[in-house]
Amino acid sequence: MASISVIIPTLNVADDVETTLVSISSLDGLAMICEVIFSDGGSSDAIHHIAKECGITLIATEPGRGVQLQAGAAAAKGEWFLFLHADTALETGWEGALDTFMKEHTDKAGYFRFALNDIGLMPRLLEWLVACRCRLFALPYGDQALFISRAVYEQAGGYKSIPIMEDVEFVSRLGRRRLRLIEKKAITSANRFKTDGYGRRIARNFCCLILYLIGIRPTRVKRLYEQ
């Protein structure tokens, strides 16, 4: 069985990451995963303690998800990389889905179906909008996880050291031909949407995407994203 390195960028996410770790800690999952890496951008919370208690490799990097993902991949030992956000848990049965993917799509990258751990109309609407974005424009985001072999990752040039939209930039280089949907959910925390309001958060994310696509520098897009 091919070995998988799980790479999780962290920055003060100790309160979120436990659910993520539990989701990948099944017996079948542990048989497939050779290591979990926290690529940490300078956390001041308990993430170092969690890493030590769980036998997770923690590497220190500059803050910025692109830099952190890049550093995590450089440190990884596995034949396959699973890039996973700290507030995103994988749906039960992900192990079989990844096993099948590794057998059938060695030259592709896989992404999961987006889902939120919230009930109501707005979460379902957002999930539908994300599914449409992926189907029409082949633009899965990082909160859908990305599963990719080391060979394809390196051939595509890996993540770039940009402060935001590193996921869009990378999958755009991969292109539709090398992307495949994995028929399992990546279930992301809805806390940000509850805090900011679904409408405001969706509008902000959409504006950031458009600004990036028309050529606005990622540093300026990040400032808008953090407002």
In this prediction, residue 184 has a pLDDT band, given cuts at 50, 70 and 90, of very high
- Per domain, the residue ranges of the chain are 4-192
Place of tokens 């990622």: 218
Helix (H) or strand (E) segment spanning residue 100:
helix 94-104
Tokens of 42: 């300078």
Q: Which CATH number fits domain 4-192: 2.60.300.12, 3.90.550.10, 3.40.50.10860, 3.30.70.20?
A: 3.90.550.10
Residues 138-167: pLDDT tens digits? 999 999 999 999 999 999 999 999 999 999
Strands (DSSP E) found in 17-108? 33-40, 57-60, 80-83, 88-90
Query: Looking at the predicted structure, is the pLDDT value of residue 115 above 80?
Result: yes
How would you classify residue 38: left for phi > 0, otherwise alpha for psi between -120 and 50, otherwise beta? Answer: beta
